[in-house]
Structure 1
Amino acid sequence: MKARYQFRFYPTDQQQQLLAQLFGCVRVVWNDALAICKDSEKLPSNNDLQKLVITQAKKTDGRSWLSDVSNIPLQQSVADLGVAYKNFFDSLKGKRKGKKVNSPKLKRKTSRQSARFRIGGFSIKGDEVYLTKIGNVKPIWSRGLPSSPSSVTVIKDCANRYFLSFVVEIQPIQIDAKNQSIGIDLGLKTFAVMSNGDKAISPNYSILDKRIRRKQRKLARQQKDSKRRNKTRLQIAKLHNKIADTRKDFLHKLSTQVVSDNQAIVLEDLNVSGMVKNCKLARAISLQGWREFRVFCEAKSEKLNRDFRVISRWEPTSQVCSCCGYRWGKVDLSIRSVLCLNCNTEHDRDQNASKNIEMVGMGHRHDLKRTRSDCQTTPVASCSESSRITDVLRR
Structure 2
Amino acid sequence: MRESAAERHERLLGLVRDRGSARVSDLAALLGVSPVTARRDVELLAGEGRLDRIHGSVSWPGRRPAAAPGAGSVADGGHGPVIGLLAPSSTYYFAEVIRGAHEAAARAGSRLILRISDYRPEEDPVRTEGLLAAGAEGLLIAPGWRAPGDPAAHGEWITGLPVPAVLLERRAAPGSALDGMDRVASDHGHGALLAVRHLRDLGHGAPLLVARSDSPTALAVRSGYTDALGALGLRAPGPVIDSVPAEQRPEEFEAAVRALHEAVVSGTASAALVHNDVDAIQMVQRLAELGVRVPDDLALIAYDDEVAALADIPLTAVAPPKREVGREATRLLVERLAGGPGDADEPRRHLALLPRLRVRDSCGARRAGDAGGGTGTHTRRVADGISS
TM-score by length of 1: 0.23
TM-score by length of 2: 0.23
Between structure 1 and structure 2, the one with the greater Rg is 1
